[in-house]
Amino acid sequence: AVVSTQSGHYGRDRDFYREMEWTMRSHMMDIPIATARKQLKKEFLKNKNVTDIRVIDLMVVKGRHTFDEFHQFWAQNYNIYNYFDITDTQKQKKEERSNTFLDNFYKSSD
């Protein structure tokens, strides 16, 4: 669901860029806005070499749908987290899950 920035579609990445702060705050994401914008730029630049107008148009439509899903809250937080590497909160939750009573019991028996 990434949009290319070629052939006159610069407005789409600006829409995403402007909307990023509101989306991150409204979804109460624990990702800094600067990190989110950096990831957005990386997603756009993945397709910088696409030249086929049909493929570009398809990516624009998919990007528009993704934008609307985030804006209208149709996409949940885990859908947004899929665009990012593991975050600090996710690491903390993983550590908490690995520190259960049984995990500690199994570690002590090794």
Pairwise CA distance, residues 69 & 32, whole Å: 20
Interval 18-42: pLDDT, tens: 888 888 888 888 788 888 888 888 8
Say if residues 6 and 51 touch (Cβ distance below 8 Å): yes
* End-to-end Cα separation, the chain, in angstroms: 46
Residue 54 confidence (pLDDT): 92
Q: Where are the beta strands (DSSP E) in the chain?
A: none
Quote the DSSP letter at residue 73: T
Q: What are the pLDDT digits (tens) for 61-110? A: 888 888 888 888 888 887 777 777 766 666 767 777 777 777 777 777 66
